[in-house]
């Protein structure tokens, strides 16, 4: 017994109804078709036999009027020689409508009730058929044909009567057989359909169960994809989603750990020096040193908090930029000068290659400088002692490009695609939250530009900032404003 619920139950119920109705209609139509075919064949055979009989009587009556002993004796002789009396009844009728002789030898229905005889006398062709039930309740078909002599006068009629019980029994037998066959077909269709629908429903149940577990935080669960179809693709997508969520969960946990560490370090330094300064007295040099440390760590905390706030503003779409014409070379030179002392302390060579006069760009100077600071700081931070960092600015058509190249440790290929993802840190031991490059890319994108990173582990990294010139920036902004206007008109 097939037990089913949900989609399976609905599918089986609907399929069973449709298949059952279809098969019932087919069996009913075929039964009628076969029955009518049987009846037509019997009727046609009777028509042919009646025609042959009429021709026989026409030939033996000669020029006789058909009355008197000659026609009667001919009729009796014909009936006595009739060989198919076990299959049909033969009746000879005279001109007055009386039955002269019957092959059964029994009394037959009165002629008043013989519909086909009446119809034959009224039909110009002199022939008619009738199907119905006789006085004995037997289902019959009868064909009557009028008999003529050479002069064209009517000599009587011949009537053939055949019982349809045998044909009806054959139709019933065939209908029962087709019904049994239909039931077998319906059973196998439902069985195969149940198997097919379960092959869909069971994986969906498994996917639903796995999705519920993923929703509860179990990102390690994986689905087995048995077939390369839509269900298999869905299972693969669920697995990919679980893997992404697991990676995101790990990154989030690493970020929380990183935030805790980054905030704890300056707070510990501030607290330690604060306690030291409270206990010391008269040592101005120690006080000065402690205050410098506290101020430095406070600035570091402010920078960390500002980085988090920037990320929050970008994620919520609340980042506001004040665009103004900006001299790229001047901004890059200022940032390089700002890091020159840091590079010297890290024993890294920092060089800015100035090119010809560059066209101005539209930029938020503070945010553009923030991006440059982040990238150059990373280049120095990830360079070994004695390494070199090169910064160049050039014009490439309608874009200005700033390139920062270092010869440091580089980025592994597996990390390169993820390096700009929020909270991602290729090296967990390095300081920072891991959102600097993500913020930098978002800021450059808001400037209608691109941030590209190329790197090879053990060789170095090349970061390219590409921003449209001020003239091209106006064209881009006008084009996007027109697109937004068209979209609003379409929606309205």
Q: Where does 94-153 show beta strands of DSSP type E? A: 99-102, 127-133, 139-148
* Structural contact between residues 417 and 437, judged by C-beta atoms closer than 8 angstroms: no
Whether the predicted pLDDT of 272 surpasses 60? yes
Sketch the domain layout of the chain as residue ranges: 6-171, 230-316, 324-491
pLDDT in tens, 219-242: 778 877 776 777 778 888 888 888
Three-state DSSP at 301 gives helix
Question: What local confidence, expressed as pLDDT, does residue 419 receive?
Answer: 63
Question: What local confidence, expressed as pLDDT, does residue 194 receive?
Answer: 79
Mean of pLDDT over the chain: 80
| Cα–Cα distance for residue pair 400/118, rounded to 1 Å | 110
**pLDDT: is 141 or 84 the higher one?**
141
| Cα–Cα distance for residue pair 183/451, rounded to 1 Å | 69
Q: Where does 421-486 show beta strands of DSSP type E? A: 450-456, 460-468
* pLDDT class of 132 with cuts at 50, 70, 90: confident
Tell me the CA end-to-end span of the chain in Å, nearest whole number. Answer: 57
| Length of the chain counted residue by residue | 492
Mean pLDDT, range 400-424, rounded to an integer: 77
Residues facing 128 on adjacent strands: 144
Note the pTM of the prediction, 2 decimals.
0.48
Q: Which residues contact 424 (CB under 8 A, 6 or more apart)?
A: 251, 415, 418, 434, 438
User: Which CATH topology does 6-171 take?
Assistant: Beta-Lactamase (3.30.450)
pLDDT in tens, 60-119: 765 444 444 467 777 788 888 788 877 888 888 877 777 888 888 765 555 545 678 888
* Structural contact between residues 7 and 201, judged by C-beta atoms closer than 8 angstroms: yes
| Cα–Cα distance for residue pair 129/119, rounded to 1 Å | 8
- Residue 108 is given by DSSP the state -
pLDDT in tens, 414-462: 777 666 665 555 554 455 444 567 778 888 888 888 999 888 888 888 9
The phi, psi pair for 252, rounded to 5°, reads: -65, -45
To the nearest 10°, the Cα dihedral for 90, 95, 100, 106?
60
User: Which CATH topology does 324-491 take?
Assistant: Heat Shock Protein 90 (3.30.565)
Residues facing 455 on adjacent strands: 461
User: Which CATH topology does 230-316 take?
Assistant: Helix Hairpins (1.10.287)
């Amino acid at each position: 017994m097939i037990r089913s619920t949900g989609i399976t139950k609905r599918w089986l119920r609907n399929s069973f109804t449709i298949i059952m109705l279809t098969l019932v209609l087919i069996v009913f139509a075929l039964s009628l078709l076969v029955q009518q075919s049987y009846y037509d064949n019997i009727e046609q055979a009777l028509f042919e036999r009646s025609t042959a009989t009429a021709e026989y009587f026409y030939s033996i009556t000669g020029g006789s009027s058909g009355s008197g002993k000659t026609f009667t004796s001919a009729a009796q002789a014909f009936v006595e020689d009739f060989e198919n009396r076990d299959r049909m009844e033969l009746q000879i009728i005279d001109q007055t409508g009386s039955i002269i002789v019957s092959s059964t030898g029994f009394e037959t229905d009165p002629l008043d009730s013989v519909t086909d005889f009446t119809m034959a006398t009224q039909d110009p062709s002199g022939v008619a058929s009738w199907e119905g039930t006789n006085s004995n309740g037997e289902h019959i078909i009868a064909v009557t044909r009028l008999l003529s002599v050479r002069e064209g006068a009517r000599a009587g009629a011949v009537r053939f009567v055949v019982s349809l019980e045998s044909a009806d029994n054959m139709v019933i037998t065939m209908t029962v057989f087709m019904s049994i066959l239909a039931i077998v077909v319906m059973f196998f269709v439902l069985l195969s359909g149940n198997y097919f629908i379960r092959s869909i429903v069971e994986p969906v149940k498994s996917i639903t169960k796995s999705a519920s577990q993923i929703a509860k935080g179990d990102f390690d669960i994986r689905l087995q994809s048995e077939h390369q179809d839509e269900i298999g693709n869905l299972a693969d997508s669920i697995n990919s989603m679980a893997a992404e969520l697991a990676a995101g969960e790990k990154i989030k946990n690493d970020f929380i750990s990183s935030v805790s560490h980054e905030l704890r370090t300056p707070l510990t330094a501030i607290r330690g020096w604060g306690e030291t300064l409270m206990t010391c007295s008269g040592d101005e040099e120690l006080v000065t040193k402690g205050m410098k440390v506290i101020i430095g760590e406070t600035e570091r905390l402010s920078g960390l908090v500002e980085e988090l706030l920037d990320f929050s503003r970008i994620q919520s779409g609340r980042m506001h930029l004040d665009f103004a014409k900006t001299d790229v070379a001047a901004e890059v030179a200022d940032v390089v000068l700002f890091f020159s002392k840091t590079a010297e302390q890290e024993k890294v060579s920092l060089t800015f290659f100035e090119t010809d006069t560059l066209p101005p760009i539209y930029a938020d100077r503070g945010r553009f400088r923030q991006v440059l600071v982040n990238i150059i700081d990373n280049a120095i931070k990830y360079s070994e002692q004695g390494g070199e960092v090169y910064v160049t600015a050039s014009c490439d058509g309608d874009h200005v490009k700033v390139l920062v190249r270092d010869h440091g440790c580089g980025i592994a290929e597996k990390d390169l695609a993820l390096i700009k993802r929020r909270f991602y840190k290729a090296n967990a031991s390095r300081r920072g939250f891991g959102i600097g490059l993500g913020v930098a890319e978002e800021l450059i994108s808001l400037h209608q530009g691109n941030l590209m990173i190329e790197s090879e582990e053990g060789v170095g990294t090349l970061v390219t900032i590409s921003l449209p010139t001020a003239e091209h920036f106006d064209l881009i902004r006008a084009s996007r404003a027109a697109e937004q206007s068209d979209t609003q008109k379409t929606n309205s």
